[in-house]
Amino acid sequence: MRFTFVTLFPKLIQEYFSDSILGRAVNEGKIRIDYRNPRDYTKDRHNRVDAPMIGGGAGMLMTPQPLMDMLRNLKETSPKAHIVFLTPVAKRFTQNDAKRLSNMEHVVLVSGRYEGIDERVIEANADEVFSIGDYILTGGELASMVLCDAISRNVEGVLGNANSLEVESFESPLLEAPSFTKPNIYEDNAVISEFLKGNHSKVTDLKRGLALCKTKYFRPDLYKKGITDEK
Ligand code: SAM
């Protein structure tokens, strides 16, 4: 699967995808990542990619020409490219979106900067728009990395053990149960003794009970949905 990050600041992203699980996925060719910088496409004689807002308002906006030319070129060379804009003014990205997008051949993640992007660029090019939460970031790079990471985990072969996807939070309406590792006792805190006895069906029941408690406490919305879905 291919990802293209459209960003004025590719360096902010590059290091994240050069290490650990996702770095290995890149090296093994499970995912491919490239970058397009709108500044490389600007026709402005001072190399500018931003301008004041028409109609007033504080701050600058990314101008249409560099992004439009770049995206036109990208779509010509990759007709199946699925173009996603990151913006706080959009529906929230979820695990279901991550799974669905992992079936795409090529996802393009467009990051805004300044006060955002001229709306005409989004109207003309967006296959989808996503927010990662109800807060304002300085730029779309973090948000686009969040999407790329969450989508990549669902691409076949990226995770060493595909089973780990199945038990993760958001795969069912329940959050994942608390987990423990060695040592069995750490600074007077023992892991739940039932976990040590090797009775897998009992551990499964116990984990489900703990997952229910955790979900009810932290995410009552998911808990309510889970209970309704089971009826
Ligand atoms: N003026 C915009 C507004 O109030 O909606 C905010 C612009 S923000 C400072 C600059 C860029 O950061 C946006 O164009 C977008 O790409 C990105 N961004 C900021 N918050 C985001 C969020 N919660 N989700 C996704 N992208 C976000």
Is residue 9 domain-shared with residue 91, that is, in the same domain?
yes
Task: Note down the domain range covering 93.
Answer: 2-152
Is residue 194 domain-shared with residue 141, that is, in the same domain?
no
| The token pair that represents 46 in the structure block | 């001072």
Q: Does a structural domain hold residue 113?
A: yes
CA distance 22 to 187: 34
Distance (Å) from CA 71 to ligand 1 centroid = 20
Bridge partners for 107 per DSSP:
3, 82
Does 144 sit in the ligand 1 pocket, CB within 6 Å? no
- If one counts the domains in the chain, the total is 2
Does 143 sit in the ligand 1 pocket, CB within 6 Å? yes
Task: Determine if residue 117 is labeled as part of a ligand binding site.
Answer: no
Q: What is the pTM of this model?
A: 0.95
Q: Does a structural domain hold residue 106?
A: yes
Among 223, 210, 222, CA closest to 95 = 222
Is residue 206 domain-shared with residue 134, that is, in the same domain?
no
Does 139 sit in the ligand 1 pocket, CB within 6 Å? yes
Distance (Å) from CA 109 to ligand 1 centroid = 13
Residue 169: predicted pLDDT: 85
If you take atom 27 of ligand 1, which residue's CA is the nearest one?
87
Is residue 118 domain-shared with residue 197, that is, in the same domain?
no
Domain boundary among 152, 177, 203: 152
Is residue 123 domain-shared with residue 181, that is, in the same domain?
no
Is residue 147 domain-shared with residue 226, that is, in the same domain?
no
One-letter amino acid of 63: T
Q: Does a structural domain hold residue 157?
A: no
Measured distance between the N- and C-terminal CA atoms of the chain, rounded to whole angstroms: 38
Our measurement of the distance from residue 113's CA atom to the centroid of its chain's CA atoms, rounded to an integer in Å, reads 18
Domain boundary among 152, 186, 211: 152
Q: Decide if 42 contacts 49 (C-beta within 8 A).
A: yes
Domain boundary among 152, 183, 202: 152
CATH number, domain containing residue 223: 1.10.1270.20
Distance (Å) from CA 134 to ligand 1 centroid = 10
Does 133 sit in the ligand 1 pocket, CB within 6 Å? yes
Task: Determine if residue 136 is labeled as part of a ligand binding site.
Answer: yes
Distance (Å) from CA 69 to ligand 1 centroid = 22
Residue 173: predicted pLDDT: 84
Is residue 172 domain-shared with residue 99, that is, in the same domain?
no
Residue 157: predicted pLDDT: 96
Q: Decide if 71 contacts 82 (C-beta within 8 A).
A: no
Q: Classify residue 135 by burial, with Cβ atoms within 10 Å: 0-12, 13-18, 19+.
A: exposed
Whether the complex's predicted ipTM surpasses the cut of 0.90: yes
Is residue 117 domain-shared with residue 12, that is, in the same domain?
yes
Is residue 204 domain-shared with residue 114, that is, in the same domain?
no
Q: Does a structural domain hold residue 158?
A: no
Does 115 sit in the ligand 1 pocket, CB within 6 Å? yes
If you take atom 1 of ligand 1, which residue's CA is the nearest one?
115
CA distance 22 to 10: 17
Mutate to test the pocket of ligand 1, among 61, 129, 137 (most ligand atoms within 8 A of CB): 137
Low-confidence residues of the chain: pLDDT under 70:
230-231
Residue 145: predicted pLDDT: 98
Bridge partners for 130 per DSSP:
86
| The token pair that represents 95 in the structure block | 């695990």
